[in-house]
């Protein structure tokens, strides 16, 4: 027995999958059911999953699969009329469309120093990234080289997800192009008319440059880490 809201959500998810093959976002589900917060959507999703109507697909962003048709669920409080059903042929087996794996291919532009600046490499490779890790705007990825940002949780070999921008506030982690040829990943700060690029490792000293020597090419948006 499903509540009215559970039935409405199940029907909404099923209709969206049939229309586009993509699961609706939690924001869309919240608006469709006129809920005040996404926590209500999470509770409804968990209840439907426990009752065997949907399942979450592993390793996929916001991917849901309907495994029981909404028509088999009766909303709580729905009127019941005793009628003798007319004989009908059995329905065909229900096959839910496969939910889309929300993955975006972004450019992978080589290695970037998290220590002394190194030459920024450009390449034609791409990196598949879950859309949930990226916000609005254009993004690219760089492989981190060095250990000067370890205290910020950025390790050698990590893949830094960068949102392309030419402006940044003090204290933000940026990709800074130095003198047009070397790139580094550092905290950006402005001090006495100079640009200071700060590491997150006490073993390294800050680097000072004139404003004309430093060009911001993006801000850190996220990290991917591979475990071997």
Residue 185, pLDDT score: 94
Which residues are part of the catalytic machinery?
148, 186
Helices 38-50 and 4-20: crossing angle in degrees, nearest 10, is 90
Find out whether 150 and 200 touch, Cβ atoms under 8 Å.
Answer: yes
More confident residue, 55 or 169: 169
Query: What global pTM score does this model have?
Result: 0.54
Count Cβ atoms within 10 A of the Cβ of residue 180 and give its class: 0-12 exposed, 13-18 middle, 19 or more buried.
exposed
For the segment 44-49, the average pLDDT, to the nearest whole number, is 83
4-72 carries CATH number 1.10.10.10 = yes
Q: Which residue has the tokens 């879950």?
A: 130
- Comparing 22-36, 113-127, 153-167, which segment has the lowest mean pLDDT? 113-127
What is the average pLDDT value for the chain, to the nearest integer? 80
CA separation for the pair 63, 100 (Å, rounded): 7
Query: Token pair for residue 187?
Result: 């905290």
pLDDT at 120 over 60: no
CA separation for the pair 224, 170 (Å, rounded): 24
Q: Locate the domains of the chain by residue range.
A: 4-72, 103-224
Q: Residue 3 — very low, low, confident or very high, per pLDDT cuts 50/70/90?
A: confident
Q: Which fold has domain 103-224?
A: Umud Fragment, subunit A (2.10.109)
For the stretch 187-228, pLDDT in tens is: 999 999 999 999 999 999 999 999 999 999 999 999 998 776
């Amino acid at each position: 027995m499903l509540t009215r809201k559970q039935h409405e959500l199940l029907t909404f998810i099923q209709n969206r999958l049939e229309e586009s093959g993509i699961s609706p976002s939690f924001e869309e589900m919240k608006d469709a059911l006129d809920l005040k917060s996404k926590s209500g959507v999470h509770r409804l999703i968990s209840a439907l999953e426990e009752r065997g109507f949907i399942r979450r697909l592993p390793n996929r962003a916001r991917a849901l699969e309907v495994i029981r048709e909404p028509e088999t669920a009766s909303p709580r409080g729905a009127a019941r009329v005793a009628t003798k059903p007319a004989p009908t042929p059995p329905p065909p087996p229900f096959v839910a469309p496969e939910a889309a794996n929300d993955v975006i291919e972004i450019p992978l532009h080589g290695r970037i120093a998290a220590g002394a600046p190194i030459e920024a490499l450009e390449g034609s490779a791409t990196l598949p990234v879950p859309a949930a890790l990226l916000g609005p705007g254009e993004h690219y990825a760089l492989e981190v080289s060095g250990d000067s940002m370890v205290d910020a949780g950025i390790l050698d070999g990590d893949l830094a997800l960068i949102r392309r921008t030419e402006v940044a506030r003090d204290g933000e982690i940026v990709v800074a192009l130095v003198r047009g040829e070397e790139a580094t990943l550092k905290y950006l700060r402005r001090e006495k008319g100079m640009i200071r690029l700060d590491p997150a490792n006490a073993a390294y000293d800050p680097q000072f440059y004139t404003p004309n020597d430093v060009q911001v090419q993006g801000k850190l948006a996220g990290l991917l880490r591979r475990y071997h």
